Amino acid sequence: MSLRSAVLVTGFVLAALNLRPAIAGVSPLLDEIMKDVGLSPAGGGAVTTVMVVCLGVFGPVTPLLARRFGLDRTLLAGLLVIAAGVTLRGLDGAPVLYLGSALAATAIAVMNVSMPAVVKEHFPTRVNLMTGVYVASVVAGATLASGLVIPVEHATGYGWRGVSALLAVPALLAALLWLPQALRKQSGAQNGPRPFGVVLRSPVTWSVTALMGLQSLTFYVMLAWLPTIFLDAGLPADQAGYLLSLTNLVQVGTSLAIPVLAGRRASQVPYVVGAGVLTVLGYLGMLLAPTAAPWLWMIVLGIGQGASFALALLIIALRPADPATVTALSAVAQSVGYVIAALGPLLFGFLREVSGGWTVPLLAGLGVLVVQIAAGWFAGRPATLGKANL
């Protein structure tokens, strides 16, 4: 591998690692943030809600930015804005907390949409492998952030504000390594036809969007409520937390391997359906016997959810014929998808409140998974979106 290629791959991986820490690093510090800033529980929860909503709302601006400035410069700008956002939210006062969080999430939204097109543009013959690397890096970034923010806080003595500002360091490092790509002449289809027309008219788009949104919904439901489900089932708090870490850790390896295997085939239907079935089994384990074999349920759930996320992004990268169309499909699928996902934890909590237990919410989750599998059946079939259809 040449030095240029090594810098490209390293910068790409570091960029992907920065796509979740600004969000995942909030939850472990939330109690401290609420006490320090003077927020109610609703105000504290709104920090994460604002960020997830921004993931959906601001994704559609990405094709405009990529068309005007190029994918590589758009990605570089996203990294710099993440660094600015996590630094800003550590300043004094609730307004800057929300503003900094929204700023970081907006940058992440743009990068979320950009990354599948970056894979298509820079690694056209290795889309499956690099999609796996990308997704594994995203999941690893979330896992590391959620697991390390408290130890780093204790080791440095900086408090939550200092730890938040430290999240700017990996973003700036990734920006430095990505700078050579941004300085190159941008080769994207900035002057070509706009692909949104064919993307919006295609049934493939909406099946991919449904897959992206529903698998994200079931993931964020588990991220928000999984420890509480096990706590209410009678497990101790530390074990409930470890179970969440376990299922996230399993997703790292799964999301790296599955795209490599699934990308070799014209159809990804068997993999998408299999991933959905495994997620169903994980939900069923929590519903029927949460304390009997919780570690097994979390491993099964992690394989299913990690594979589902990876496959959704792989399909977004594979179906279009060119990076510009990838960007358009990615914008639609991820923007609508994350808006759908943002509703999941709220509705799950509402069902828990009105039913008085976790049976009704988990049954609702199983219903969502049935629809997800059906959407994956259509999204996983061979199809092409691209210039020939414009």
CA torsion 18→24→26→29, rounded to 10°?
A: -120
Give percent of the chain above pLDDT 90: 46
User: In this structure, which CATH number among 1.20.1250.20, 3.40.50.1580, 3.60.21.10, 3.30.300.30 belongs to the domain 3-183?
Assistant: 1.20.1250.20
How big, in percent rounded to 5, are the helix, strand and coil portions of the chain? 85, 0, 15
Report how far residue 151's alpha carbon sits from residue 149's, in angstroms, rounded to the nearest whole number: 6
Q: What is the DSSP string of 128-181?
A: HHHHHHHHHHHHHHHHHHHHHHHHHHHHH--HHHHHHHHTHHHHHHHHHHHHHH
The SS3 of residue 259 is helix
Q: Which residues pair with 385 in a beta bridge?
A: 320
Residue spans of the domains in the chain: they are: 3-183, 197-380
Give pLDDT tens digits for 9-36.
999 999 999 998 998 888 778 778 888 8
Q: Which of 33-47, 192-206, 244-258 has the highest mean pLDDT?
A: 244-258
Report the topology of domain 197-380: Growth Hormone; Chain: A; (1.20.1250)
Which amino acid, 104?
A: A
Please give the sequence-ordered ranges of beta strands (E in DSSP) within the chain, or none if there are none. Answer: none
Give pLDDT tens digits for 357-387.
899 999 999 999 999 999 999 999 988 776 5
pLDDT value at 191 more than 50: no
**DSSP H helix total and E strand total for the chain:** 17, 0
Give pLDDT tens digits for 32-70.
888 888 888 778 777 877 888 888 889 888 888 988 899
- Please report which confidence band the pLDDT of residue 1 belongs to, taking 50, 70 and 90 as the band edges: low
The SS3 of residue 70 is coil
Average pLDDT of every residue of the chain: 88
The SS3 of residue 320 is strand
pLDDT value at 316 more than 50: yes
Give pLDDT tens digits for 85-136.
999 998 888 899 999 999 999 999 999 999 988 998 999 888 889 999 999 9
**DSSP character at residue 267:** -
Which amino acid, 212?
A: M
Which of 41-50, 153-162, 300-309 is predicted with the least confidence, judged by mean pLDDT?
41-50
Backbone angles phi, psi at 56, to 5 degrees: -85, -40
Spatial CA neighbour of 193 closest among 385, 57, 344: 385
State residue 388's pLDDT score: 44
On whether the pTM is more than 0.85, the answer is: no
State residue 190's pLDDT score: 45
